[in-house]
Structure 1
Amino acid sequence: MPPQTISEHVPIEGPKTFSREEVLKSRDVVRKSMDGTKYETCQPWYIIIDNKVYDVKDFVPDHPGGSVILTLIGKDATDAFNNFHQESTHDLLANYYVGDVAPEDIASTKEGFSKELRELKELFVKLKYFESSKAYYLFKISSNISIWASSVLLLYAFGNSILGVLVAAIALAIFWQQCGWLAHDFLHHQVFQNRDYNNLAGCFIGSVCQGFDPSWWKDKHNTHHAAPNVHGQDPDINTHPILSWSEYALTDLFDPELASENAKILPQWLAHLWVNNQTILYLPIMCFARISWCIQSIIFILPNGQLRKPANAHMPITKIQQISLLLHYVWLSWMLSLIDNWFLRLFFLFSAQTICGLLLATVFSLNHFGMKILSEDESSKMDFFVEQIITGRDIIALNPANQWIVDWFTGGLNYQIEHHIFPAIPRHHFHKIQPIIQGLCAKHQVPYHMTTFFKGTTEVFGTLGDVSLTASKKY
């Protein structure tokens, strides 16, 4: 009798299978690490991509995108992953593969809304919508520098008058606002195929010119993209007690057992007073948005500046970033030296900062504020693309002939829905794909919200008022 081979004695085990419920449970493990001190290395941190399961707990400290990955633990991250990563990233991901989704839990990709959006992405690649016009961005950068130059010339010519200083401050505020939109494009890797070039340009425009550190911005903004308007995850709506956008925030504020660290900034009586009057306080608060973001950037790049973040999800900070942020304040100090009077210097600085804060925030707030707020449980069960669409708002001009003004002032962020679905598409292509996305949403009965600048702003104020009314009645 011939000898038996090893394969006849030892069964070959296939990949382990996971139910989606089993993957979802790893979300609870992550919550224990969110206080910035605990890091549960003994428990798996699962995500699902293309019906394959990966344990990414050992990868989180090295993740270039920072803590954004924590919003996807326990979820199907297929579309989020494909939206933010290059094809080459799949090779790295293979190192963390642990098994497959159980056959009965495999998500169907044969039909439906998401499938059509994935097909659209392939079409847009063929149409070269993911490729930028370098001439367009050269014009945007040079025209923006000319706005800064006009501020300098105004200070040279009229720096001894309050009116001249005010006009110069307005010009500088517009320069900073437009730098914000340009840095946004570069740091989303919309301009160059080489990501290092994008990051360097983003560092110059975002840090040197505008004063916002790219790592601070990426950590905040990428997390927002992964979990837009998700309470407890999206940092853009985690603004209570300063501004409260939903009943979830009110629970955080006034329920002693659930009150978050942010809620404890103000004593409860003052938090009540503040929330009840937040509609009135909204615009004054927005004026100080830029100052707040500048301070956050400085803290973020300092040693121990990320102490309140999970220890395993700190963003790497380079000397280039620190020097770039320092250079911002060097040239700003030089501009102040063009003014002889200390009162006018302070007036110029305060005016530029607060006007820019208002210019940034009036656009920023229209993107998502006043739209649907989701709980973490709702988000975990929702299609990625649907979540991006129902939480966003597109802005159009009342008169189509003036659309270019809206596009310029908002830096293309008025196409917020399209940007969230395809964040790597340069802004100058959004007007081409907007009607296509709108039509697809209508076909699948996915709510798509498009309105004017004025109506969108009234919606934001309406939400603030509704939350204030709820707070006054419920608490």
Structure 2
Amino acid sequence: MAPHEVLENGIEGPKVFWREEILKSRNAKHQGDLPCYLIIDNKVYDVKDFLPDHPGGSVILTRLGLDATDAFNNFHPSSTNDLLANFYVGDVVSEDMHSTKEGFTKEIREIKELFKKLKYFESSKSYYFSKLFGNLGICAFSVGVLYIFGNSILGVLISAALMALFWQQCGWLAHDILHHQLFDNRNYNNLMGCFVGSVCQGFDPCWWKDKHNTHHAAPNVHGQDPDINTHPILSWSEHALTDLFDPKFSKENAKILPHWLVHLMVNYQTLSYFPILSGARISWCIQSILFILPNGQANQPSRMPISNIQRISLVLHYIWFGSITFFFIDNWFLRFTFIIAAQAICGLLLALVFSLNHNGMKILTEEESLKMDFFVEQVITGRDVITSNPANQWIVDWFCGGLDYQIEHHIFPTIPRHHFHKIQPIIQSLCEKYKIPYHKTTFFEGTKEVFATLGTVSHVASKKY
């Protein structure tokens, strides 16, 4: 039963809250005795008791104390409303309610309803299964090359490059599936995600969801987005430098790495960028394995449930990959070369696209994010990738797995990628109407922007610290 308060006429009504009062619950992340409030459609929910059972993991923590209406609707089916009702505790004070009678958010919500009528949220099963079989074809080609030419360095390297491409393309397909773009039934998506994401690619779906959904909820927000929480390996803003070098914040980091090494890494990060990207897949594989271990989420207030299907799926990945490596290559040097080359090339193929999505774009502090509209935040922190010749856009679409439409994907994460080209002009036009910066550039120019940001941060570090 929700808390009530006595109204002027003596009748009990729902408890009411001021937004400033609700905002204090953001401290609940650090003080366990506080309630954990969220605002959805001007109603207040205390999700403290739900944190350990939240299927989406720690992403829920990014919206504590905030209006989570659009974030909630972006990530949950309508059936979740029945569960949400169990945590209702009151309403926002009428004078403090947010209205969407006009503005960017109102139009985005209206466009969403239009896109539903146009069936843009419905996937083409033939499209996605052609992607699946196409990816498996790349894998078969890689194994075939290894079987025939596995005793030559050239054959091993060609096979490794094809295997890396297979993993990269499976990454994009698993991304779509785990965003629930393929099936209406989320259980089917999760099972397919286990096959494509775990068995084929080697990344656990729950590890990926915990990391990626948090990124979607707080893109490029310093201290929240795990995709930019990479310092000192790569530092993307002056905020990261404060964490690294300011005595008030850097004591814990100093226990891990000495300051001279941190300085060296930051100052030369433009030179180390590509070598670091080549190690990305190995890092993600290790993180994925650690995540599904019994104590892998021990320090998180919100844990994602790990099933035996997920564990078995991940084991199967290493069984089939280890088997082809052992049986089709009879030289330990070539086996080692195949394993390392496949991992390194895949790391580059994945991270080159990831970096273009958001790196080098605006980094927000938590305070800036608190004051910003959810959809505006998705737009100004993202970058679309285009070609100088529109006829070749299909090449970018294939290589980037639809993530070249990053802005559209962040606004509507459950729209299948084969509809992005239809909605892109509409979203860009709406951003121009409301003077919201909408950034799109070529693959090469976007990479230059990423390097420019790394160089700027390095320069600031050398001068200021």
TM-score by structure 1 length? 0.95
**Aligned match of 2:442 in 452, 467, 470?**
452
1:434 aligns with 2:433: no
Corresponding residue for 1:335?
324
SS at 2:176's partner residue? helix
AA partner of residue 16 (structure 1)? K
Does the CA-based 8 Å contact 1:176-1:356 persist in structure 2?
yes
Does the CA-based 8 Å contact 2:29-2:61 persist in structure 1?
yes
Alignment of 1:71-470 (within 5 A): 71-259=62-250, 261=252, 264-307=255-298, 309-310=299-300, 312-337=301-326, 338-470=328-460
Instruction: String of CA shifts for 1:76-121, please: whole Å, max 9, x gaps.
Output: 0000001111111111111111111111211111110000000000
- Distance in structure 1 (CA, Å) of the matches to 2:251 and 2:336: 36
Shift of 1:305: 1.4
Corresponding residue for 1:63?
54
SS at 1:111's partner residue? coil
Shift of 1:259: 2.4
Does the CA-based 8 Å contact 2:55-2:303 persist in structure 1?
no
Does the CA-based 8 Å contact 1:241-1:262 persist in structure 2?
no
- Distance in structure 1 (CA, Å) of the matches to 2:224 and 2:313: 29
Does the CA-based 8 Å contact 1:441-1:448 persist in structure 2?
yes
Does the CA-based 8 Å contact 1:183-1:206 persist in structure 2?
yes
Shift of 1:31: 3.2
Alignment of 1:29-44 (within 5 A): 29-32=28-31, 40=32, 42-44=33-35
From the superposition, tell whether residues 464 and 194 of structure 1 become closer, same or farther in structure 2 (CA, over 3 Å). same
- Deviating beyond 2 angstroms after TM superposition, the runs of 4 or more aligned structure 1 residues are 259-265
Does the CA-based 8 Å contact 2:121-2:414 persist in structure 1?
yes
From the superposition, tell whether residues 262 and 428 of structure 1 become closer, same or farther in structure 2 (CA, over 3 Å). farther
SS at 1:241's partner residue? coil
Identity %: 73
Instruction: String of CA shifts for 1:204-235, please: whole Å, max 9, x gaps.
Output: 10001100000100000000000000001000
AA partner of residue 403 (structure 1)? Q
- Distance in structure 2 (CA, Å) of the matches to 1:280 and 1:207: 32
From the superposition, tell whether residues 196 and 260 of structure 1 become closer, same or farther in structure 2 (CA, over 3 Å). farther
Shift of 1:258: 1.4
Instruction: String of CA shifts for 1:23-43, please: whole Å, max 9, x gaps.
Output: 1111122234xxxxxxx1x32
AA partner of residue 316 (structure 2)? L
Corresponding residue for 1:25?
24
Shift of 1:260: 7.2
- Distance in structure 1 (CA, Å) of the matches to 2:111 and 2:252: 42
SS at 2:202's partner residue? coil
- Distance in structure 2 (CA, Å) of the matches to 1:346 and 1:236: 29
- Distance in structure 1 (CA, Å) of the matches to 2:225 and 2:61: 11
Shift of 1:399: 1.2
- Distance in structure 1 (CA, Å) of the matches to 2:194 and 2:167: 14
- Distance in structure 1 (CA, Å) of the matches to 2:280 and 2:254: 18
Shift of 1:263: 6.3
Shift of 1:401: 1.2
Does the CA-based 8 Å contact 2:27-2:34 persist in structure 1?
no
- Distance in structure 2 (CA, Å) of the matches to 1:265 and 1:24: 33
AA partner of residue 343 (structure 1)? F
SS at 1:58's partner residue? helix
Instruction: String of CA shifts for 1:21-68, please: whole Å, max 9, x gaps.
Output: 101111122234xxxxxxx1x321111100111111111111110000
AA partner of residue 399 (structure 2)? F
Shift of 1:341: 0.7
- Distance in structure 2 (CA, Å) of the matches to 1:349 and 1:19: 57
Corresponding residue for 2:44?
53
- Distance in structure 1 (CA, Å) of the matches to 2:397 and 2:441: 14
Shift of 1:256: 2.1
Corresponding residue for 1:35?
none
**Structure 1 unmatched ranges of 5 or more:** 1-6, 33-39
Instruction: String of CA shifts for 1:126-184, please: whole Å, max 9, x gaps.
Output: 00000000010111001110000001110111111100110000000000000000000
- Distance in structure 2 (CA, Å) of the matches to 1:256 and 1:264: 12
SS at 1:130's partner residue? coil
Report the number of matched residues. 459
